[in-house]
Amino acid sequence: MRLAGAIVAEQGVIIADDYFNIYWPDVTTAVNDFLKERDDFAPFLITPGKLYICQKKQLGLYEEFAAALTARSSIKSRVVDLNREEISAIRLSRKGELRQKFGLAI
């Protein structure tokens, strides 16, 4: 996570795979530790098994993206509290739904 935080582009996104995966608990621990250490990063979206993180100065851009993504489709979403940060949570009805609808690999 520290390496990702050091090299991510200004408008880049860090995607933490296996976040909240019961078989990989150290991923969740590492991501949470990173977010505590680096207050210049914030999560903006969570999907089953993935957490999307951007630099806080880009947070508005990615929050708009997440809102637009759910507004344009029948994808179920809600706002959740994660470590005192409100983020969009998307629940996919089937694997690959976002890729099929929007050409995204989320």
Distance in angstroms (rounded) separating the CA atoms of residues 81 and 72: 23
> What backbone phi and psi angles, to 5 degrees, belong to 56?
-55, -30
Both tokens of residue 58? 């880009």
Both tokens of residue 96? 């690959």
Question: Is the overall model pTM greater than 0.75, yes or no?
Answer: yes
Contact (Cβ atoms closer than 8 angstroms) between residue 85 and residue 38: no
> pLDDT tens-digit profile of 18-77?
998 999 999 999 999 999 999 999 998 888 889 999 999 999 998 888 888 777 666 666
In this structure, what DSSP letter does residue 93 have?
S
